[in-house]
Chain A
Amino acid sequence: MEKFQRIDAPAVAMAMANIDTDQIIPARFLRKPRASGYGGFLFHDLRFAEDGAPKPEFALNRPGAAGARVLVAERNFGCGSSREHAVYALWDYGFRAVIAPSFGDIFFGNCFKNGLLPVVLPAEAAAALQAEIEQQPGGWVAVDLERQRVTAPSGRKFAFDIDAFRKECLLQGVDEIDFTLGLAGDIAAFERRQAAEQRWL
């Protein structure tokens, strides 16, 4: 997994709460091979008209949005289906951080497994950042994981919390499976204990 330490890049804002993973990537694309890339599927039905032309009013299609790597979203972003393809699509498009006041739990976990940083900002901070980016699509936002700080285009700074283990895994680009395989002895001990205590399993 690619390490995440700090980025400073153009941001776009999506002014809609409860964006579910069906919106991030519609179900009909999930059968596509991972190697083919998912960037073109991102927000597909919100982003493109029936004839395939970009919808000019959609956030990613607005002037200044090109090259965005930070997405500023609203409450409950990524709710719904567990499809990790939602993260693949954001990643392949170029996003490296998503900032919102809250996330769907499964989506939130999936981000960390792929090097995409989900940042939870308090509602007021998220709204202030959202307002700045709405005014200025493509405005640069810095996300510093080590210092747990987001810097808005205006220079305004917002602190965020993050789970220490997940932070370390992202900073180091740790492969979680390899890490856990290092605990194989503990897992085997658990299995022996369970087999003795719950013979019906």
Chain B
Amino acid sequence: MTAASATLFDKIWDRHKVVERADGQTLLYVDRHLIHDGSRRAFEVLAEKGLTLRRPDRTFGTADHYVPTSSRDVAAIADPEARAMVDAVEVNAARHGATVFGLSDPRQGIIHVVGPEQGLTQPGLTIVCGDSHTSTHGALGALAFGIGASEVAHVMATQTLWQRRPKTLRISVEGSLAPGVFAKDVILAIIAEIGAAGATGHVIEYAGSAIRGLSMEGRLTLCNMSIEAGARAGLVAPDETTFAWLEGRPYAPKGANWESALAFWRALPSDEGACFDREVTLDAAAIAPMASWGTSPEHAAPITGRVPDPAAAPDAERRAGWEAALAYMGLVPGTPLEAIAIDRVFIGSCTNSRIEDLRAAAAVARGRKAVIPAWVVPGSGLVKAEAEAEGLDAVFKAAGFEWREAGCSMCVGMNGDLVAAGQRCASTSNRNFAGRQGKGARTHLVSPAMAAAAAVTGRLTDIRHLAGEG
């Protein structure tokens, strides 16, 4: 049973134990299994073993990684291998009775946008998906983490996973965020502080007044990049913001069930005095708009900063890492980040493609002109429709931005939306790894407002200055 003083994580974990072995391995029950067009291999494993999907009613999916953002026509996918991936998720779901929002469904989108949007993501659930950014769903107080293809097959066959209890890390961000500072800046600042492996082996609970003050979209952005700090999962305690956001969504509980669920959810937050294995505290007011300069998410700095000098790195390992990163990025130590010229802009991905992200970018684009190619890729068909109802598409188009269809797109380029070798992209996505957006592509991670600012100036730009000028 859960101890008298338990964390949010403890409460979810303890409630989902099916079997706990003496050696500490725990068979954990999975409440929701999310699948996508990269899940083909796991269906193959299932077929090879002659097994069926144990809980099709707990399995939901969409096509996102390989879908075109220029049209909604599967037949229009030129690459036969990519087309086969998109086909496979729909065919496999139909064969096994799972629910999949395919390319022609208005609810299609990035799985980590669609799950919360449909109300599939709820407080207290365990959610897994064969994608590392499954950590996103922790924003609603669900224990959600990414798994590999073998584990996907294991969940398909058994609705469970073998796990060892991770450690807990509470990251408290206290105070108020300054104007022009968003959830993306908060998580980039956290990763810069603790490192890309700073939370390995841990589940993060984000806490503090600045986190409680974030909207649901902001919390989703925050939890999304937990994996970039090494944590498989990130959590935010469910509160009135969560409940208000969830109520009325298609898969959210209704009527008397809503009341029962609500009572259960209200008891989930970490108890007063609950113990975490580690604690980190940040001052919200000290966080500036951030931009990455290297090839790891930990290579990020306030936009007011400069490209660091590897000679000043704190140790030999980081010196080598910074040198390799600057060589790949084509950057010279000491260069002000605001002096870095940008070739193109990508606004989208499971990190930053929700309605609030598009509003923040549109607020910057409104009345200005993009001087470099800039793409806006909504996170789902429903986000796209909502943005269009608000006229955001018109704002973007008037500013010379391209308005595209929903999908993972240029975050990972699996659908052919690529940044050319040597080109520098200001991107609202989550990974600035070498080659992530295309072979030789150079990525600078920023918030949607900062990405839009880069689009209209052609360089990394402190959004606070632009707002002052505008």
Contacts and interface: CB of A to CB of B under 8 A. Distances in A.
Interface of A: 15-18, 20, 22-23, 26-28, 30-32, 34, 45, 74-76, 79-84, 87, 102-107, 109-110, 113-114, 163-166, 176-177, 180-181, 183-184, 186-187, 190-191, 194, 198-201
A200 B253 contact: yes
A15 to B, nearest CB: 7
A176 B154 contact: yes
A106 B132 contact: yes
Given A31-B414, A34-B44, A180-B154, A18 B82 contact: no
30 contacts: A16-B320, A16-B324, A17-B318, A20-B433, A22-B434, A27-B413, A30-B414, A31-B66, A31-B81, A31-B82, A31-B414, A34-B41, A45-B435, A45-B439, A74-B317, A75-B317, A80-B132, A82-B146, A82-B148, A109-B148, A110-B148, A110-B149, A163-B24, A165-B24, A180-B154, A180-B162, A181-B158, A183-B18, A200-B253, A200-B260
A45 B441 CA distance: 12
Interface string B302-316: 000000000000000
B270 interface: no
A31 B260 contact: no
A105 B81 contact: no
A198 B264 contact: yes
B394 interface: no
A12 to B, nearest CB: 17
B376 to A, nearest CB: 22
Contacts of B257: 199-200
Most chain B CB atoms below 10 A, which of A18, A166, A190: A18
Interface residues of B, number: 70
Given A30-B38, A177-B49, A113 B230 contact: no
Contacts of A102: 197, 200
Contacts of B321: 16-18
Nearest to B233: A105
Given A16-B321, A76-B230, A110-B148, 9 more contacts: A81-B132, A81-B412, A83-B148, A106-B147, A109-B148, A114-B150, A180-B154, A180-B162, A187-B18
Contacts of B153: 177
A105 B154 CA distance: 17
B220 interface: no
B189 interface: no
Given A22-B433, A163-B25, A186-B18, A105 B158 contact: no
B317 A80 contact: no
Contacts of A87: 148
Given A16-B321, A200-B253, A26 B148 contact: no
Contacts of B41: 34, 84
10 residue pairs, one from A and one from B, having the closest CB atoms: A113-B150, A200-B253, A110-B148, A200-B257, A84-B148, A76-B197, A84-B149, A31-B81, A165-B25, A164-B23
Contacts of A201: 31, 125
Interface in B80-135: 81-82, 84-85, 125, 130-132
B171 interface: no
Given A76-B197, A79-B196, A180 B27 contact: yes
Given A34-B44, A80-B431, A102-B197, A113 B148 contact: yes
Contact of A22 (B158, B253, B431): B431
Interface string B33-54: 0000010010011000101000
Contacts of B85: 31
Contacts of A190: 18, 29
Contacts of B148: 82-84, 87, 106-107, 109-110, 113
B73 to A, nearest CB: 19
Contacts of A74: 317
Given A22-B436, A114-B150, A82 B260 contact: no
A183 B26 CA distance: 12
Contacts of A17: 317-318, 320-321
A38 to B, nearest CB: 11
Nearest to A76: B197
A29 to B, nearest CB: 10
B86 to A, nearest CB: 10
B164 interface: yes
Interface in B146-179: 146-151, 153-154, 157-160, 162, 164
Contact of A186 (B27, B232, B260): B27
Contact of A109 (B84, B151, B230): B151
A18 B158 CA distance: 33
A183 B253 contact: no
